[in-house]
Amino acid sequence: MATPSVVVLDYGFGNVRSAVRALTRVGATVELTADLDAAMAADGLLVPGVGAFAAVMAGLRAVRGDQVIDRRLAGGRPVLGICVGMQVLFAEGVEHGVQAEGLAQWPGVVDRLEADVVPHMGWSRVEPPEGSVLFDGLADERFYFVHSYAARTFPLSDQRRPGPVAAPLVTWAEHGDRFVAAVENGPLAATQFHPEKSGDAGAQLLERWVSTLT
């Protein structure tokens, strides 16, 4: 069986080296690059992200990462977003009163957490839905979060889609109020937490994602 290939998109934002190491440990052949042909050809594309929503979007557009993500998903090619790499998949982000357009793969707004202590930094449990592939056997584990903003609603989860298209599977967590911790939506998956920094549980989640690429 061929080893799954993964490109970690290198656009200037994210803990890219730790992501490369984590994916390599779970059996993927990993390349860190902004090359569009490589990003399109890989079995999986990982989109990291650290920093402000608007800056991450500008970095993605500068290397045409927005186009690569869109084209991959249109062809059913897997994409995994992490932290702000997940947030930019929503329609918009609002930070310090400034609104920025996201990739709009999902409707919804990313805004500041309503909590006594922000940022949310540390290990937290999550609430995965029935049928989750990424969290199979991991429902009681903790994952490592570092963020001040999140999507606190997920409109599509309340819809009952007709026909064969399944609704997204949404995993929730709490810090002050509930927020989206992860989404599994056909070829598109994302986590608000950092699986590459989440010890054995994070490694198992990445291994499950890599296993879906073959």
Is 194 one of the catalytic residues? yes
Domains of the chain by residue range: 5-211
pLDDT band at 1 (very low <50, low <70, confident <90, very high): low
pLDDT tops 50 at residue 159: no
Q: Provide DSSP, 152-163.
A: ---GGGG----T
Model pTM score: 0.95
The tens digit of pLDDT for each residue in 11-64 reads: 998 879 999 999 999 999 999 999 999 999 999 999 999 999 999 999 999 999
The token duo for 101 is 């357009």
Determine which helix (DSSP H) or strand (DSSP E) holds 54, and give its type and residue range: helix 53-62
pLDDT level of residue 155 (50, 70, 90 thresholds)? confident
Closest by CA to 152, choosing from 114, 186, 118, is 114
Candidate list 120, 130, 194, 207, residue with the active-site label: 194
Which residues, at least 6 apart from 117, have a Cβ–Cβ distance to it below 8 Å?
Answer: none
Q: What is the C-alpha to C-alpha distance for residues 203 and 28, in angstroms, rounded to an integer?
A: 12
Which pLDDT score, from 0 to 100, does residue 156 have?
A: 77
Query: Residue 138: what pLDDT?
Result: 97
Give the model's confidence band at 167: pLDDT under 50 very low, under 70 low, under 90 confident, else very high. Answer: confident
Give the H or E element holding residue 149.
strand 149-151
Distances from the Cα of 128 to the Cα of 24, 34, 55, 178, angstroms: 25, 32, 30, 13
> What does the mean pLDDT of the chain come to?
94
Q: Are the beta carbons of 154 and 108 closer than 8 angstroms?
A: yes
In contact, 190 and 178? CB cutoff 8 Å = no
Distance of alpha carbon 168 from alpha carbon 183, whole angstroms: 7
CATH superfamily of 5-211: Class I glutamine amidotransferase (GATase) domain (3.40.50.880)
81 vs 8, 27, 48, 162, 174, CA distance in Å? 10, 19, 6, 27, 20
Section 184-204 average pLDDT: 98
Known active-site residue 96:
no
97-111: pLDDT as tens digits: 889 999 999 999 999
Is 80 exceeded by the pLDDT of residue 163? no
- What pLDDT digit, counting tens, does each position of 115-139 carry? 999 999 999 999 999 999 999 999 9
Please tell me the predicted confidence (pLDDT) of residue 194. 98
pLDDT in tens, 54-100: 999 999 999 999 999 999 999 999 999 999 999 999 999 999 888 99
Q: What is the pLDDT of residue 5?
A: 98
Catalytic residue among 92, 141, 184, 196: 196
Residue 6 pLDDT: 98
Q: How far apart are CA 176 and CA 51, in angstroms?
A: 21
Q: Give the list of residues 6+ apart from residue 1 with CB closer than 8 angstroms, or none.
A: 214
Out of 31, 83, 175, 184, the active site residue is 83
**pLDDT score of 166 more than 80:** no
User: Is 196 annotated as catalytic?
Assistant: yes
Top-confidence residue, 1 or 62: 62
